[in-house]
């Protein structure tokens, strides 16, 4: 199967350029990783922009960002109404926390979309702390995919933990390490308006956990673009769906975890991640919008 993913979109010319790229790639579904209109009352305008570029049949699947989770610059409930779920078998609360296997019969990938680290209408974040109900829901969704023999597991959320942009570990250290410990294949995020792709990272041996704002080479399991499934997790931030880019910090203490990165001050590019998944391989590439040249590609292979 074939999907695209990006976050931090907006209503401007950049967003429309990225949607043109997605339309040309013709995926089976798109993961929109939060922060949609950046405008209170702009929900219908955003939905009309998306369907005008991509049509009404493409599953344009939503997970909330901080700009619409609390209702200040859009309301996730309104986005969900005008861009509803179109994937059969989805479980959970669409737009907030959900999972789905694709294809529905003989699936090759389980998507798990969650919302740690952002505030909702009551001013409080959802509880993804260790052992909480949402933590257990996520862990069980990962374990069940493994027990059912689904080849690949992809987790998506708005906020990253490790980043060379402006943001800190809003996703939470413990929650992030749980994803690594369970060997999730690919973790996607937005929030930081940069593109960044990690090396494959894993726990074990001399690496008991990854600690934000620090780097440990013992946590790296593979540093090239061709990686083996089960050795660790790849993290990709694709916060370049249309809005203004942030700078990347080449001297960030976490820089050792990353293979490549792009931001306002280094190889700037808007665009989308483009992913093709088979039973044996997950292959991904960054496809820039018109006027940009930065690219990236990597692959995970099943043992």
Give the position of tokens 């993913």.
Answer: 5
In the predicted model, what is the mean pLDDT of residues 151-157? 98
Mean pLDDT of 155-168: 96
pLDDT band at 123 (very low <50, low <70, confident <90, very high): confident
pLDDT for the residue numbered 69? 97
SS3 content of the chain, % helix, strand, coil (to 5): 20, 30, 50
- Asked if pLDDT for residue 8 goes beyond 90, the answer is yes
Q: What is the pLDDT of residue 122?
A: 82
* Number of structural domains found in the chain: 1
Could you tell me if 239 and 189 are in contact, meaning their C-beta atoms sit under 8 angstroms apart? yes
Q: Domain holding 179: CATH number?
A: 3.60.21.10
Section 125-147 average pLDDT: 98
Burial letters 105-140, b for 16+ CB under 10 A, else e? eebbbbbbbbbbbbebeeeebbebeeeeebbebbbe
Packing angle of the helix pair 133-147, 173-181 (nearest 10 deg): 10
State yes or no: pLDDT of 117 exceeds 90.
yes
Long-range contacts of 47-55 (CB under 8 A, 24+ apart): 47/79, 47/82, 47/83, 49/11, 49/15, 49/16, 49/19, 50/19, 50/83, 51/83, 53/16, 53/19, 53/20, 53/22, 53/23, 54/19, 54/22, 54/23, 54/30
Greater confidence (99 vs 123) lies with 99
Instruction: Grade residue 166 by pLDDT with cuts at 50, 70 and 90.
Output: very high
Quick one: pLDDT at residue 203?
97
Range of the domain at 256: 2-301
Would you give the distance in Å from CA 32 to the centre of its chain?
8
Q: What residue has token string 């280094």? A: 266
pLDDT at 303: 84
Asked if the model's pLDDT at residue 33 lies above 90, the reply is: yes
The mean per-residue pLDDT over the stretch 111-129 comes to 95
Percent of the chain with pLDDT over 90: 98
What is the mean predicted confidence (pLDDT) over 255-281?
98
- Percentage of the chain lying above the pLDDT 70 cut: 100
Give the per-residue pLDDT at 13: 98
Average pLDDT, the chain: 97
| pLDDT one-digit tens code per residue, 53-75 | 999 999 999 999 999 999 989 99
Q: What is the pLDDT averaged over residues 29-36?
A: 98
Per-residue pLDDT at 120? 96
């Amino acid at each position: 199967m074939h999907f695209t993913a990006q976050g931090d979109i907006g209503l401007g010319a950049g967003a429309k350029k990225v949607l043109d790229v997605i339309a040309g790639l013709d995926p089976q579904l798109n993961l929109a990783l939060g922060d949609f209109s950046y405008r209170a009352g702009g929900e219908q305008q955003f939905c009309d922009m998306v369907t005008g570029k991509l049509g009404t049949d493409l599953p344009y699947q939503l997970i909330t960002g901080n700009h619409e989770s609390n209702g200040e610059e859009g309301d996730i409930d309104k986005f969900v109404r005008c861009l509803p779920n179109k994937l059969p078998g989805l479980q959970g609360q669409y737009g907030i926390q959900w999972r789905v296997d694709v294809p529905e019969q003989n699936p090759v990938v389980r998507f798990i979309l969650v919302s740690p680290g952002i505030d909702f209408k009551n001013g409080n974040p959802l509880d993804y702390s260790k052992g909480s109900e949402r933590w257990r829901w996520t862990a069980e969704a990962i374990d069940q995919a493994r027990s059912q023999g689904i080849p690949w597991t992809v987790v998506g959320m708005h906020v990253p933990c490790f980043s060379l942009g402006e943001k800190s570990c809003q996703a939470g250290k413990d929650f992030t390490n749980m994803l690594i410990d369970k060997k999730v294949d690919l973790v996607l995020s937005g929030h930081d308006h940069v593109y960044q792709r990690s090396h494959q990272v894993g726990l074990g041996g001399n690496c008991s956990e990854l600690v934000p704002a620090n780097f440990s080479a013992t946590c790296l399991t593979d540093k090239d673009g061709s990686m083996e499934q089960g050795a660790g997790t790849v993290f990709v931030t694709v916060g370049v769906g249309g809005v203004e880019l942030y700078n990347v910090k080449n001297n960030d203490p976490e820089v050792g975890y990353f293979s490549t990165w792009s931001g306002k001050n280094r190889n700037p590019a808007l665009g989308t991640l483009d992913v093709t998944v088979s039973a044996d391989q997950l292959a991904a590439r960054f496809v820039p919008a018109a006027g940009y040249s930065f690219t990236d590609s990597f692959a995970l292979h099943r043992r």
